[in-house]
Structure 1
Amino acid sequence: MSWYSVIYTRARQFKSQNLILGTLVQWSFYVCVLIELSVLSLSSFVYYYITGRLIANDIQASCYMVFYGWITFMMLWAYFRVITASPMRVPKEYEMDETTDAKLRAVTPFNPQGRPMLDSSTELQITTQRQIMDEFAAARGITMVEVDVQGRLRYCYECRSIKPDRSHHCSSCGFCAVRFDHHCPYLNSCVAAHNYKFFVLFLLYLEMWLIWNVISAIQAITHYFMAYEANKHLDWIVPLCCLFVLQFLSSIWPLGELLRYHWQLISLNETTCEQAKIPNIRGDPKANYDIGRWKNIEIVMGWSLWLVPVRTSISDGFHHPINYVSPISGDTVVRVTVATADTDGTRTSPAVTPLP
């Protein structure tokens, strides 16, 4: 558990004992958001008040201001969509009733802190756990392809529910999120299926915003040293140079590297969690969700309006096309480009191509 997850967990525990003070503590987590908006406001003031004055051509300066305003608007639009999008929690139909949950806990070892120790389960316990979860899923008409290394469905003992494929428990938010990627304390938001597109667009427009600030600052600083004496208008050039250095460095690392990383995840149809722990898909442990770069991009960004912070995803977060790659008899290998899994784990293959 990360340091901020510990803080979030303790805040929820405190809120359960003191509703009013606990709510105020949770609201205080938006302090990072307020700091970020304050820095943005300061940077915008410097850009309009100083950078615009140091660009000699009035027409050019006006075009710069308009373009800067557009980038800022798009960035803020994506930013507020990230932090205000309603969390996509695992639905109630995945939640076990108390009786079934009690049966499962009775055959599950726990440590002194009350956390399940699934790796310490005996063969008999593993068989019983698998049977309880499979019977529950069958009774609810729930189908999943992801299982753990022992072939059990993934179960959250905190939320008391079966985890849908690609879903994980967010210890910071305290619930299981659909297609969970990570929790961002700097946005005070869980990044998952409900806002992942907005998060990526925010990174993109923030990177563009920083680069445009750097380009404009280079021209403004160059014009200053060509047109003004060294000691004239120091109240202009000093803050501009300071912001230039900070924005130039931030555009390279960490923001530039973070944008590159998430673009790679989208291209491979992976999440941050899945890069850390590869999902185990029953029927083929080598299977993955990578169905080709452009199809992967469409799953997250939709068919159109990729650069607009509106919901366009073609995925509901629960059903995912799977790329199966598994050996069969002899040396022959088959690759299923797009497939789904039946309730018993067998594969339905609309397109199968033999490989040498």
Structure 2
Amino acid sequence: MSWYSVIYTKARNFKSQSPVLGTLLQWSFYVCVLIELLLFSLSSFVYFGITTQIFDSDIQASIYMVVYGLISFMMFWSYVRVITSSPFRVPKEYEMDEATDAKLRAVTPFNPQGRAMIDQSNEMQVAAQRRIMEEFAAARGITLVEVDQHSRLRYCYECRVLKPDRSHHCSSCGFCAIRFDHHCPYLNSCVAVHNYKFFVLFLLYLEAWLIWNVISGVQAIIVYFMRGDSSKRLDMIIPLCCLFVLQAASSVWPLGELLRYHWLLISTNETTCEQAKIPNIRGDPKANYDIGRWKNIEIVMGWGLWFFPVRTSTSDGMHHPINYVMPAADSSQFRVTVGTAETDTTVSPATTPLP
């Protein structure tokens, strides 16, 4: 559990004891958002009040301000969509009834704090857990492909739900999210299937915003020092130079590296969480969700309007095509091929690997 997850968990526990103060405490987590808005306002003040005022040409200054405004608009549009889009929680049909949950807990070891220690289960407990979860899934008509190292379906003892494929429990938010990527404390938001595209676009436009500031700052600094008159003012050049250094450094690391990292995740159809823990797909331990770069990109960015923060995804986040690596004859277990939102789910003893 990360440091901020501990803070979020304690805040939720405090809210259960004191709803009013707990709610105020949770609202205080938006302090990072307020700091980010303050930094943007300060940067905009320097850009409009100093950078563009140094240019000799009013036409050039006007063009630069228009470009700055357009990039800022797209960045803020994406930013708002990230923090206002509610994560896709696990549907009700995956929630286990109390009687079945009690059976499962009866064959699961717990620590003194009441936390399930499923990895400490013995062989008989593992077999019982597997049977209970498989029977529940069959009764609900649920088909899942991801299992743990003991071939059990994944179950969340906190949310009392079977975890759909690619979903994970967010310790910070306190619930299971569909196609969970990570929790971002700097946005005070869980990044999952419903807002992952917006998050990536926010990184893209923030990077473009920084680069444009750097380009404009370089030109303004050059023009400033090329002037031979007595109009040079330290109160103009010092803020500009300081801001230029910070933005130039941030555009390379960490933001540039973060953007590159998430682009690689999109192109291979992975999530940050799956990078840390590789999914175990039954029927083929080497299987993955990588179905080709352009199809992978389409799953996240949608059918069109890639550069606009609007929802255009072709996937519902619940069903995922699978790239089986091992030949069907090499696997003694059945394979499950899960279609997209527009296709039906099928179960077959053998499946041809995707190209």
* TM-score category of the 2 structures, normalised to the smaller one: over 0.9
Letter in 1 for 2:70: W
Give the aligned partner of residue 141 of structure 1.
141
Normalising by structure 2, report the TM-score. 0.94
**What SS does the aligned partner of 2:183 have?**
strand
Structure 1 unaligned spans of 5+: 331-335
Give the aligned partner of residue 189 of structure 2.
189
Give, in angstroms, the shift of residue 60 of structure 1. 1.1
Give the aligned partner of residue 268 of structure 2.
268
Give the aligned partner of residue 247 of structure 1.
247
Distance in 1 between residues matched to 2:159 and 2:74, nearest whole Å:
36
Distance in 2 between residues matched to 1:346 and 1:117, nearest whole Å:
33
- 2:165 corresponds to 1:165: yes
CA RMSD of aligned residues (A): 1.8
Give the aligned partner of residue 111 of structure 1.
111
Write the mapping of 1:328-339 to structure 2, written as runs, cut at 5 A: 329=329, 339=337
Distance in 2 between residues matched to 1:35 and 1:115, nearest whole Å:
36
Q: Is the 8 A contact 1:324 1:339 kept in 2?
A: no
Give the aligned partner of residue 3 of structure 2.
3
Give, in angstroms, the shift of residue 345 of structure 1. 7.0
Q: Is the 8 A contact 1:12 1:22 kept in 2?
A: yes
Q: Is the 8 A contact 1:283 1:345 kept in 2?
A: no
Write the mapping of 1:274-313 to structure 2, written as runs, cut at 5 A: 274-313=274-313
Query: Once the two structures are superposed, what CA deviation does each residue of 1:223-255 show, in whole Å capped at 9, x if it has no partner?
Result: 000115588211111100000000000000000
Query: Once the two structures are superposed, what CA deviation does each residue of 1:28-87 show, in whole Å capped at 9, x if it has no partner?
Result: 000000000000011011101111111121111111100000000000000000000022
Give the aligned partner of residue 127 of structure 1.
127
- 2:231 corresponds to 1:225: no
Q: Is the 8 A contact 2:224 2:232 kept in 1?
A: no
Q: Is the 8 A contact 1:11 1:26 kept in 2?
A: yes
Letter in 2 for 1:16: S
Distance in 1 between residues matched to 2:202 and 2:133, nearest whole Å:
39
Q: Is the 8 A contact 1:182 1:191 kept in 2?
A: yes
Normalising by structure 1, report the TM-score. 0.94
Give the aligned partner of residue 333 of structure 1.
none
Provide the aligned length of Structure 1 versus Structure 2. 346
Distance in 1 between residues matched to 2:226 and 2:216, nearest whole Å:
16
Distance in 1 between residues matched to 2:232 and 2:222, nearest whole Å:
14
Give, in angstroms, the shift of residue 200 of structure 1. 0.1
Give, in angstroms, the shift of residue 347 of structure 1. 4.2
**What SS does the aligned partner of 1:35 have?**
helix
**What SS does the aligned partner of 2:285 have?**
coil
**What SS does the aligned partner of 2:15 have?**
helix
Give, in angstroms, the shift of residue 111 of structure 1. 1.6
Letter in 1 for 2:87: P
Letter in 1 for 2:122: T
Q: Is the 8 A contact 1:323 1:339 kept in 2?
A: no
Distance in 1 between residues matched to 2:228 and 2:310, nearest whole Å:
46
Give, in angstroms, the shift of residue 116 of structure 1. 1.5
Q: Is the 8 A contact 1:339 1:347 kept in 2?
A: no
Letter in 2 for 1:13: N
Distance in 1 between residues matched to 2:227 and 2:133, nearest whole Å:
75
Give, in angstroms, the shift of residue 344 of structure 1. 6.1
Give, in angstroms, the shift of residue 137 of structure 1. 0.6
Give the aligned partner of residue 340 of structure 1.
338
Letter in 1 for 2:322: I
Give the aligned partner of residue 42 of structure 2.
42
Give the aligned partner of residue 342 of structure 2.
none
Q: Point out the structure with the larger strand share.
A: 1
Give, in angstroms, the shift of residue 346 of structure 1. 3.6
- 2:158 corresponds to 1:153: no
Distance in 1 between residues matched to 2:313 and 2:149, nearest whole Å:
31
Distance in 2 between residues matched to 1:255 and 1:231, nearest whole Å:
36
Give, in angstroms, the shift of residue 113 of structure 1. 1.9
Going from structure 1 to structure 2, the CA distance change for 1:33 and 1:343 (only over 3 Å counts) comes to same
Distance in 2 between residues matched to 1:343 and 1:108, nearest whole Å:
31
**What SS does the aligned partner of 2:240 have?**
helix
Give, in angstroms, the shift of residue 205 of structure 1. 0.1
Give, in angstroms, the shift of residue 327 of structure 1. 3.7
Distance in 1 between residues matched to 2:278 and 2:241, nearest whole Å:
45
Going from structure 1 to structure 2, the CA distance change for 1:57 and 1:147 (only over 3 Å counts) comes to same
Give, in angstroms, the shift of residue 340 of structure 1. 3.1
Q: Is the 8 A contact 1:145 1:345 kept in 2?
A: no
Q: Is the 8 A contact 1:282 1:345 kept in 2?
A: no
